[in-house]
Structure 1
Amino acid sequence: MHVTAATGIIFWFRRDLRLHDQVALVAAAQRAEQQGRWLLPVFIHDRAESAPTRWGFTRMAPHRRTWLTSAVDALAAQLRVLGSDLVQLRGNSVDTLVQLVRTLGHPWLVCEEIAAPEEQAVVAALLASGVNVQTIWQSSLVALEELPFDPQAVPDTFTTFRHALEREHVQATRPLPPIKRLAPLPSHALLNAITVGHEERGGADHVLASEPWPDDARSAFPLGSSGFDGGEQGALQHLQQYCQRRLPDSYKSTRNGLIGVDYSSKWSPWLATGALSARQAWAAIQAFEAEHGANESTYWLWFELLWRDHFRWLHFKHGKKLYRARGLGEAPVPSHDPDHFARWCRGETGQPFIDAGMRELAATGYLSNRMRQNVASYLIHDLGCDWRAGAAWFESQLLDYDVYSNQGNWLYLSGRGTDPRQGRRFNPDKQAQDYDADGSYRALWARAT
């Protein structure tokens, strides 16, 4: 169905489910307001994310879907407060957006840029279908134009990258303030037209029923408990309490912890959905430093956010090469043992430290950075499995799955990425002695539930 009317702007939310530091949405809103046009916020629940992987499991398990859905629902509520709304559609992103654009009279589609092959292919397919698309980069700590080099010439090793930024005194980009006003929605006639031919549409109504919040008191990231809801307000409240309790002062000394909420910043699940921007997180730490002073721990938070940036710029430089079986080098295609992999996923390898980590991941959708390195190393170097299978399992399970960091870290540990040491094997017995000397973590996760 085609409706003739003054066209407007569709803003497609992807992994930027917030109103603060929203470079792309601000650009879309300004364009709509200047031209006297409507603005329609949209989110697509893409069926591809529920499809089975080549490894035999769904791309998005219940924990991660619940977390994402809570962020989407919270965003919809925020938009309604501004007199707007969030149209939620379900289906293939390309087909759904092409149909939506045709229904609404061929408006421009604006969205954030995601520099990963699958996400870029979606935009390319939209362009090939005649959709006018404007993508805007916004997910990095440092803006693209503030880099001291072209992103396609980023140093491959993190240390060289970090030194280059610090030598040039590159600072994080200041976050934009929260959006307070948006252009009006399309007319009721246009909104009603969206229901024709689409699989499902939701505004105030949910498109997908949320999975129940998991209830596991052992979790280091207790979804659904006070302070751990998925929306932007939850993210900002968590950031505020983290600083108010002066936890940034101890980050470096506690970051390798395994049990409890406070051993690390726990920003990553909100960063992954975009409910929190990296720039907003760092601005809070800068304010903390101004009040309490900078130290090695606050610097280490900067250090970790730069790692996140580095994996993003590596995608600009290497693109699809990061997704090859041999990675960036010429190593042979990795071997794979389906039985070993299945036992690893279930936490039944027989190695108590590794099994504890895999049980925590399956039960909660979260795992400490220290344990992520250990379980990934064990799968690759001890069980002789394909690193891509492990990366796919993490994509399915992790609340804080981020396409850039997930791919970069698995390549790094496999020796097929940019690690100058060409692979890192962690000795699980030594790691258990160093980080779980009293066995409390292994005892905590000795059983699955």
Structure 2
Amino acid sequence: MTTAFYWFRNDLRLEDNPSFMQACKSADHLLPVYIHQPNLEQDTVWGFPRIGEHRQVFLDQSLQELRSQLRDLGSDLYEVAGDVLDVFEKLKAQTQTDLIYCEQIQAPEELEQVALLSSAGFRMNPIWQSSMLDAQSLPFPLQEMPDVFTQFRQQVEKKGLRFSSPADAPKSIPPLPAIEMPSIKVCDRNTLSSGSKFQGGARSAQTHIQQYFERRLPDTYKQTRNGLIGMDYSSKFSPWLAQGCCSAGSIAKQLADYEICYGANDGTYWLWFELLWRDYFRFLHFKYGTRLYYSKGLSKTPSNQFDGEKFSKWSSGNTGESLIDAGMRELKKTGYLSNRMRQIVASYWIYDMNGDWQAGAAWFEYQLLDYDVYSNQGNWLYIAGKGTDPRGGRPFNVTKQTQDHDPNGVYRQIWLA
């Protein structure tokens, strides 16, 4: 009789979860586990934690939804807070098993956790599953992938790659091992997150995605994607993708079905194009790993010096530059910011305030509802000129951006009122 643990990480769903499916097929008894890591709530060197209230509420909702789905299939979720190794050592003592299945996360800290468990004698089975494209199907080895996104995209398109076919959800889950389940005390943080329009969980993800396609919003994606106000200017898939409440492959499959039904156009192509950017930032981690987390990134020069006083003005939205202040206040209030505004405020911090890009990236990790380690790191490196972009940095002209994207001041009026 094989007993195994399934360690949920950033894959809080049952549908299109090959790693969980593998665990279900391989084990006679399976314990689904989620571990809240207290170090995320401790202050960093910058003076604030790594997870803020908005993402915490969304995570709590997503875990409640996951538990509900597991219980519908006769299973449950073992949800605890603690150090990853300590938690699994205690579970091993109770269940007499050292077999762990999980998704593979190719970022330094997450790889370190798996290595630590392996060195402690656990049999680890990490499976890569968070990209739209199957890593094995790419026209190049990941360690030799093109540095420049355009070349990456052209090779992918030349091979005719669109997405890897999503897997079904399991029809049944092996029974739980004999173990006492912890009683869950999820903090009521919902009052703190009143500014959020997003509800966590796989069912909420499907509801949002379905209405997005039903309302034919992909058709206008390219024209509206740089908007600043409302829910419909971009897809808003990112919060659910970041926690793995849905998969990029399943969205791309629905997009392909949509194109069969209504025809392909610029909007549908650009939606796929943005999902490909998401993959690109993921795959870069296989090539460059920890170098993406150095102050100098892939460049030869380190980041600007950190200035706490300047950072306080930028992060609180008190720089005196109205568009920047509006953006930073929206971020703090809601945990969300349009892609265009993320680029503008990041550029302002790096180039106009001579700020440390790593501090900016850390602030986004703390504030963003849809924080994703790969995309956050990739985008900050891109703006700072520390990544693979041959142009070496992307400074934005704030006056021009204001004229282009908020000419009538409506956005600023909302957030500076």
Shorter-chain TM-score above 0.5: yes
The match for 1:361 is: 331
The match for 2:415 is: 445
The match for 2:241 is: 271
CA displacement at 1:359 relative to structure 2: 0.1
Q: Does 1:63 align with 2:49?
A: no
The match for 1:172 is: 163
Deviations 1:408-445, CA, capped at 9 Å, x for gaps: 10011000111111001011111010000000000000
Deviations 1:179-220, CA, capped at 9 Å, x for gaps: 221111112xxx12x7xxxxxx33xxx34313125565xx6x
Please give the alpha-carbon distance, in whole angstroms, between the structure 2 residues aligned to 1:240 and 1:233.
10
The match for 1:429 is: 399
The match for 1:19 is: 14
Q: Please report the RMSD computed on the Cα atoms of aligned residues, expressed in angstroms.
A: 1.2
**Structure 1 residue ranges (4+ consecutive) displaced by more than 2 angstroms after TM superposition:** 213-216
Q: Does 1:302 align with 2:288?
A: no
The match for 2:24 is: 29
Deviations 1:244-295, CA, capped at 9 Å, x for gaps: 0000000000000000010000000000000010011111111111111000
Structural mapping, 1:71-90, within 5 Å: 71-90=62-81
Task: Report the 3-state secondary structure (helix = DSSP H, G, I; strand = E; otherwise coil) of the residue aligned with 1:445.
Answer: helix
Deviations 1:322-372, CA, capped at 9 Å, x for gaps: 000000111134222111111111000110000000000000000000000
Please give the alpha-carbon distance, in whole angstroms, between the structure 2 residues aligned to 1:391 and 1:65.
18
2:53–2:193: 8 Å Cα contact kept in structure 1? no
Q: Does 1:102 align with 2:97?
A: no
CA displacement at 1:400 relative to structure 2: 0.6
CA displacement at 1:7 relative to structure 2: 4.5
Residue 15 of structure 1 aligns with an amino acid whose one-letter code is N
Residue 25 of structure 2 aligns with an amino acid whose one-letter code is Q
The match for 2:187 is: 209
1:89–1:207: 8 Å Cα contact kept in structure 2? no
Closer/same/farther in 2, CA of residues 274 and 106 from structure 1, 3 Å limit: same
CA displacement at 1:151 relative to structure 2: 1.0
1:152–1:316: 8 Å Cα contact kept in structure 2? yes
Structural mapping, 1:134-173, within 5 Å: 134-173=125-164
Please give the alpha-carbon distance, in whole angstroms, between the structure 1 residues aligned to 2:31 and 2:73.
13
1:340–1:383: 8 Å Cα contact kept in structure 2? yes
The match for 1:392 is: 362
CA displacement at 1:94 relative to structure 2: 2.2
The match for 1:234 is: 204
Structure 2 residue corresponding to 1:327, chosen from 297, 304, 308: 297
Q: Which moved more, 1:324-333 or 1:77-86?
A: 324-333
Please give the alpha-carbon distance, in whole angstroms, between the structure 2 residues aligned to 1:254 and 1:21.
29
Closer/same/farther in 2, CA of residues 431 and 333 from structure 1, 3 Å limit: closer
Task: Report the 3-state secondary structure (helix = DSSP H, G, I; strand = E; otherwise coil) of the residue aligned with 1:133.
Answer: strand
Residue 155 of structure 1 aligns with an amino acid whose one-letter code is P
Structure 1 residue corresponding to 2:309, chosen from 339, 346, 363: 339
Mark the runs of 5 or more structure 2 residues left unpaired by the alignment. none
Closer/same/farther in 2, CA of residues 133 and 312 from structure 1, 3 Å limit: same
Deviations 1:18-67, CA, capped at 9 Å, x for gaps: 011011000010001xxxx2011000011111111110001111111001
The match for 1:402 is: 372
The match for 1:3 is: none
Residue 239 of structure 1 aligns with an amino acid whose one-letter code is I
Q: Number of residue pairs matched?
A: 417
Q: Which moved more, 1:142-151 or 1:8-17?
A: 142-151
Residue 113 of structure 2 aligns with an amino acid whose one-letter code is V
Please give the alpha-carbon distance, in whole angstroms, between the structure 2 residues aligned to 1:71 and 1:215.
15
Residue 254 of structure 2 aligns with an amino acid whose one-letter code is A
Please give the alpha-carbon distance, in whole angstroms, between the structure 2 residues aligned to 1:14 and 1:336.
32
Please give the alpha-carbon distance, in whole angstroms, between the structure 1 residues aligned to 2:32 and 2:273.
34
2:303–2:357: 8 Å Cα contact kept in structure 1? no
Deviations 1:6-26, CA, capped at 9 Å, x for gaps: 540100000000011011000
Please give the alpha-carbon distance, in whole angstroms, between the structure 2 residues aligned to 1:25 and 1:283.
20
Q: Which moved more, 1:265-274 or 1:95-104?
A: 95-104
The match for 1:93 is: 84
Structural mapping, 1:192-207, within 5 Å: 192=180, 201-202=182-183, 206-207=184-185
The match for 1:197 is: none
Structural mapping, 1:252-271, within 5 Å: 252-271=222-241
In percent, how many aligned pairs have the same letter?
49
Closer/same/farther in 2, CA of residues 149 and 102 from structure 1, 3 Å limit: farther
Mark the runs of 5 or more structure 1 residues left unpaired by the alignment. 1-5, 195-200
Please give the alpha-carbon distance, in whole angstroms, between the structure 1 residues aligned to 2:188 and 2:250.
28
Please give the alpha-carbon distance, in whole angstroms, between the structure 1 residues aligned to 2:124 and 2:304.
38
1:329–1:416: 8 Å Cα contact kept in structure 2? yes
Please give the alpha-carbon distance, in whole angstroms, between the structure 1 residues aligned to 2:25 and 2:272.
32
Structure 1 residue corresponding to 2:352, chosen from 374, 382, 404: 382
Task: Report the 3-state secondary structure (helix = DSSP H, G, I; strand = E; otherwise coil) of the residue aligned with 2:416.
Answer: coil
Residue 78 of structure 1 aligns with an amino acid whose one-letter code is Q
